[in-house]
Amino acid sequence: MGTENRDSCSQRDSAEREGYVRAHRSFRRIWKERDSAQPELLEKILNKDNLNRAFKRVKANKGAPGIDGMTVEETGDCLRENQKELIERIKRGKYTPDPVRRVEIPKPEGGMRKLGIPTVKDRIFQQAIGQQLMPVYEALFSENSYGYRPGRSARDAILKVKEYAEQGYTHAVALD
């Protein structure tokens, strides 16, 4: 795009560009601090309260067993018995997640969607990690991003597009 075309473009997207610049700067700052933050982050992830919250969340989701066939209740008992050993393996970098169980579910528009179902144990660890990373990365995301964000939905995205249309915007892009 030539300079003359760029100058004639609407400046409405300048606020969005400024948001990207701020997010990039924030990400760069976090990236520089990552080495000193990693031991502290791992301790937060493996904190007993964080792991208990993660277990409760996974239990509330009522998901299917993974490849090991263990239910949430069975996994909870197993984790209580082996908690110290598992945490030490994670701290030493020796923990390996289990393979996922492959299932196919029908798509509403036809065809099949392939899913990978982790073991309950791995879902608990994933949840514990997410609980600690979410606040860090949530601050970096665009306010116009709605997918898989806490407190945001597809309906919120539609309402935002409607708001932009009422402000005179004529184009919208849906990215997945």
Q: Encode pLDDT of 81-109 as tens digits.
A: 999 999 999 988 899 999 999 999 999 99
> What is the pTM (predicted TM-score) of this model?
0.68
Torsion on CA atoms 98, 136, 141, 18, rounded to nearest 10: -150
Indicate the number of domains in the chain. Answer: 2
Asked if pLDDT for residue 169 goes beyond 70, the answer is yes
* Residue 18, amino acid: E
Q: Are residue 134 and residue 152 in the same domain, yes or no?
A: no
Tell me the C-alpha distance between 160 and 146, whole Å: 10
- Domain range for residue 158? 148-176
Q: What pLDDT, on the 0 to 100 scale, is given for residue 19?
A: 45
In a domain, 6, yes or no: no
Q: Encode pLDDT of 143-159 as tens digits.
A: 888 888 888 998 999 99
In a domain, 119, yes or no: yes
